[in-house]
Structure 1
Amino acid sequence: MTVAGVLLAAGGSRRLGAPKQLLKTNGVTLVERAARQLLDAGCCPVIVVLGANAAEVRDAVSMLTLECVENAHWERGMGTSIALAMTALNAVRFAEVRAALIATCDMPAVTVEHLVALKTASNSCDATSSAVSGTTSGVRRVASSYVGPDGATVRGIPAVLPRADWSALAALDGDEGARAQLRQPDTLTVSLRHGSFDLDTPADVAAWHASEAVSP
């Protein structure tokens, strides 16, 4: 099954005060790390959505075999970036792509192994589950699941969205994201420990660096 990778890297990092895409871990920027994870998980093509600091972020992934698209409306929210990526994937040359794995670069808990697990779950259904989900391609929608700050279980990205969802995703605007699709009862989940932790503020970055320092 051909699964595209979509890396959302357009945000302005207002609460952080610096481009989170260009933060480094072990000498590697977060945007490069996240793009490499999608490539290493077997996603093809990988599309990086740029916005704020587009030139610098593009340069940070210039050594990788991927495509960049620039979102002129990134300030309106994540939905515009997802819509742009889905429009790009609907091009004829990507007709063999059956699903898109959407990720961001500010979730330190994400690993290549987790992305592979999402892809595997999306393709591990039989005829019965395909009938239940209403898909004809046999590709299931799969979200990452983790405990949110309020203690409730969250379904979120990284997530695999089958082509059947793309029309709705291409119409997104604002900061809505793919929540409506991921809340559907037929959505499968793969647990992501510490998935609710992302790098939004200087305190988050400090906690991340501290955790790296004590990791074996």
Structure 2
Amino acid sequence: MAQFGGVDKVIYLLTSSVSKIGVIILAAGSSSRLGRPKQLLRFNGESLLQKSVKAALDVSDITLTVLGAHYQEIGEEIKYLKTKSLFNLDWNKGMGNSIKFGLHEIHKEHPDLNAVIIMVCDQPFVSGELLNTMIDAYHRGNALVASSYGSTVGVPALFDRQYFKQILKIDDKKGAKAILNHGDAYLIPFPQGSQDIDTPKDWENFKAM
């Protein structure tokens, strides 16, 4: 948790007690370049998806996992975790479509959400600590919080509800990066965020680290 005092601490305590933040975990992709569902790749006794969902549950009890390709097999992987899982019929239209689907569904069930975190399931180093750092930044007055790695501004990213309408209009294939690149995002350094798993080589390189 961020360290601060005085007025900042009072503001943090007041806002954190009333803020309602949901988490959307994107797990709908077909992993075509990998040749098998990346969501089910295992290390340290857990699948990538299990690790991602547990990180989300560390910071919020309002979580939604968006499923698509191989949804039955992947859904079994997290059925014991306290996340809501939904199948996006149009998952193959692109990540942006799954983001919009996830936001629509989580907001429909929780219309009083103050903000939402969007994360993917193939960044092995995402942790509850990282997500809490983003929430701390939000409580300190930053309506848009994103991860920074290399020259990239990306996920995990937190969006205040003022951005919900923009998210629901994003391109199906391009995701929410346009909002992050054109918004006044507060950046959280996350150098390990560049480590994602898209190809067999990515997976072998990760295991060799």
TM above 0.5, one fold? yes
Q: Does 1:25 align with 2:23?
A: no
Which of 109, 121, 125 aligns to 1:109? It is 125
Give the conservation status (yes or no) of the 8 Å contact 1:48–1:67. Answer: yes
Q: Which residue of 1 aligns with 2:188?
A: 190
Letter in 1 for 2:146: A
Q: Which residue of 1 aligns with 2:12?
A: none
Shift, 1:96, TM fit: 2.6
Q: Which residue of 1 aligns with 2:94?
A: 77
Q: Distance in 2 between matches of 1:121 and 1:23?
A: 31
Shift, 1:90, TM fit: 2.5
Give the conservation status (yes or no) of the 8 Å contact 2:25–2:119. Answer: yes
Structure 1 stretches of 4+ with a deviation exceeding 2 A read 171-174
Which of 162, 170, 173 aligns to 2:168? It is 170
1:102 is paired with a residue whose SS is strand
Q: Distance in 2 between matches of 1:84 and 1:185?
A: 22
Q: Distance in 1 between matches of 2:138 and 2:28?
A: 26
Count of equivalent residues: 191
Which of 136, 139, 143 aligns to 1:140? It is 143
Give the conservation status (yes or no) of the 8 Å contact 1:79–1:173. Answer: yes
Structure 2: runs of 5+ lacking an equivalent: 1-18
Percent identical pairs in the alignment equals: 33
Give the conservation status (yes or no) of the 8 Å contact 1:7–1:104. Answer: yes
Give the TM-score taking structure 1 as reference length. Answer: 0.85
Q: Does 1:96 align with 2:112?
A: yes
Give the conservation status (yes or no) of the 8 Å contact 2:51–2:124. Answer: no
Letter in 2 for 1:35: V
Once the two structures are superposed, what CA deviation does each residue of 1:95-120 show, in whole Å capped at 9, x if it has no partner?
23111111111012222211111111
Shift, 1:33, TM fit: 0.8
Q: Which residue of 2 aligns with 1:205?
A: 203
Letter in 1 for 2:71: A
Give the number of the structure whose residues are more often helix, by fraction.
Answer: 2
Matches within 5 A, 1:39-78: 39-40=57-58, 42-78=59-95
Shift, 1:173, TM fit: 3.8
Shift, 1:185, TM fit: 4.3
Q: Distance in 1 between matches of 2:183 and 2:163?
A: 14
Give the conservation status (yes or no) of the 8 Å contact 1:144–1:156. Answer: yes
Shift, 1:12, TM fit: 0.3
Shift, 1:44, TM fit: 3.0
Once the two structures are superposed, what CA deviation does each residue of 1:66-89 show, in whole Å capped at 9, x if it has no partner?
111111111111001000011112
Give the TM-score taking structure 2 as reference length. Answer: 0.87
Letter in 1 for 2:121: C
Give the conservation status (yes or no) of the 8 Å contact 1:100–1:161. Answer: yes
Please provide the CA RMSD for this pair. Answer: 1.2
Give the conservation status (yes or no) of the 8 Å contact 1:155–1:182. Answer: yes
Give the conservation status (yes or no) of the 8 Å contact 1:76–1:173. Answer: no
Shift, 1:172, TM fit: 2.9
Cα 1:72–1:173 shift into 2, 3 Å: farther
